């Protein structure tokens, strides 16, 4: 199946700093990438949908100036959490979808555990 690689898997940062998370599709071209956040014992929450070469579409309640998404190539999307605060501590997961097909979105990156201290 399609492989999506996400880095880093864990990161601890100080409050007020920024953190960048990378999501790469290794064996297919990802025309669309999805970024999710998951708090403990809760469901996945879609943050934004990112299409290659265009601005990301953010879900209601997600601050686009705080969660910067760049999808500059067909194999890489990045999520930057700017001026991170302890309440941003969460599990962030990306998934990628290729052109056509019916469920290439089914494949996720490994996730990034962000802890803001």
Partner 1 sequence: GQNIDQPTEMTATEGAIVQINCTYQTSGFNGLFWYQQHAGEAPTFLSYNVLDGLEEKGRFSSFLSRSKGYSYLLLKELQMKDSASYLCAARDSNYQLIWGAGTKLIIKP
Helix (H) or strand (E) holding 33: strand 30-38
Of the candidates 20, 40, 9, which has an alpha carbon nearest to the alpha carbon of residue 108? 9
Binders of partner 1 in range 15-34 (CB under 8 A): 34
Using the structure block, give the residue that is written with the tokens 């802890």.
Answer: 115
Cis amide bond preceding 8, omega within 30 = yes
Is 66 a binder of partner 1 (CB under 8 A)? Answer: no
| Residue of 5, 49, 70, 80 interacting with partner 1 (CB under 8 A) | 49
Alpha carbon separation from 52 to 11, 73, 94 (Å, rounded): 26, 6, 14
Residue among 76 and 91 whose Cβ is closer to partner 1: 91
Residue among 67 and 107 whose Cβ is closer to partner 1: 107
Q: How far is the CB of 72 from partner 1 (least distance, A)?
A: 23
What is the contact surface with partner 1 in residues (CB under 8 A)? 1, 6, 34, 42-46, 49, 91, 93, 102-103, 105-111, 113
């Amino acid at each position: 199946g399609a492989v999506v690689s996400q880095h880093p898997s864990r990161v601890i940062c100080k409050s007020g700093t920024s953190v960048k998370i990378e999501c790469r599709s290794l064996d297919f071209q990802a025309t669309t990438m999805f970024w999710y956040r998951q708090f403990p014992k809760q469901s996945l929450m879609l943050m934004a949908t990112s299409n290659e070469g265009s601005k990301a579409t953010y879900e209601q309640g997600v601050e686009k100036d705080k969660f910067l998404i760049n999808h500059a190539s067909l194999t890489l999307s990045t999520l930057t959490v700017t001026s991170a605060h302890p309440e941003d501590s969460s599990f962030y997961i990306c998934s990628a979808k290729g052109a056509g097909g019916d469920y290439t979105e089914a494949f996720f990156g490994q996730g990034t555990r962000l802890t803001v201290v």
